């Protein structure tokens, strides 16, 4: 299977948002949005590891519990302007597109190929890495073709 050259260096992620706080529809309307408010040290490390051009699944937590879209990291980690204290960071994410078919948490939990997915193993983290294998598997489940406009 061939991948575009920059895909070899690209990393994949999943970012969670509660739809009543910030929804996929709001992300689409804003196009580029700072991913602020992360207050967990492991999730902060994951944000700091993100590179411009990396891709992330946009996941609705609590209500829906499903992957609904794909975003691209548009700006690497910088100080989170919403933080009152502490060394918290955020990244900017740019809308790439909706997942043609939402992939639910229940579906992912039932899929043996995703048994070690960080979303399942570390369910409380709001930002988690996704392996290339998991990324392509979830994309297939959701009908995502993986085309990124640059």
Do residues 47 and 69 lie in contact, with contact meaning Cβ atoms separated by under 8 Å? Answer: no
For residue 1, is pLDDT > 50? Answer: no
**How far is C-alpha 93 from the geometric centre of its chain's CA atoms?**
9
Does residue 113 sit within a domain? yes
pLDDT of residue 86: 79
pTM of the model: 0.91
For residue 149, is pLDDT > 60? Answer: no
| pLDDT, average across residues 61-71 | 96
Q: What's the whole-number average pLDDT of the chain? A: 92
Exposure string over 69-105, b if 16+ CB within 10 A, otherwise e: bbbbbbebbeebeeeeeeebbbbbbbbbbbbeebbbb
Do residues 6 and 55 lie in contact, with contact meaning Cβ atoms separated by under 8 Å? Answer: no
Domain containing 68 equals 5-142
Does residue 57 sit within a domain? yes
**Which residues contact residue 12 at a Cβ distance below 8 angstroms, ignoring those fewer than 6 apart?**
54, 55, 56, 57, 129, 130, 131, 132, 134, 135
Does residue 94 sit within a domain? yes
Does residue 148 sit within a domain? no
pLDDT of residue 2: 42
Taking only the tens place, the pLDDT of each residue in 92-114 is: 999 999 999 999 999 999 999 99
On the 0-12 / 13-18 / 19+ scale of CB atoms within 10 A, 148 is: middle
Do residues 59 and 14 lie in contact, with contact meaning Cβ atoms separated by under 8 Å? Answer: yes
Does residue 147 sit within a domain? no
Does residue 96 sit within a domain? yes
For residue 7, is pLDDT > 80? Answer: no
Does residue 150 sit within a domain? no
What ranges make up the beta strands (E) of the chain? 12-17, 32-35, 55-60, 66-79, 89-104, 127-130
- The total number of structural domains that make up the chain: 1
For residue 147, is pLDDT > 70? Answer: no
For residue 150, is pLDDT > 90? Answer: no
CATH number for 104: 3.10.590.10
């Amino acid at each position: 299977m061939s991948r575009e050259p920059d895909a070899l260096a690209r990393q994949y992620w999943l970012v969670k948002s509660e739809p009543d706080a910030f929804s996929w529809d709001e992300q689409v309307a804003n196009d580029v949005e700072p991913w602020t408010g992360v207050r967990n040290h492991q999730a902060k490390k994951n944000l700091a590891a993100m590179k411009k051009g990396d891709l992330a699944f946009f996941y609705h937590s609590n209500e829906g519990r499903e992957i609904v879209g794909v975003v691209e990291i548009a700006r690497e980690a910088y100080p989170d302007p919403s933080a009152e204290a502490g060394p918290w960071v955020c990244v900017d994410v740019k809308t790439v597109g909706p997942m043609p078919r939402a992939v639910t948490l229940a579906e992912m939990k039932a899929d043996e190929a995703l048994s070690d997915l960080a979303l399942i193993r570390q369910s409380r983290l709001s930002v988690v890495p996704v392996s290339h294998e998991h990324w392509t598997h979830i994309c297939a489940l959701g009908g995502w073709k993986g085309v990124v406009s640059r």
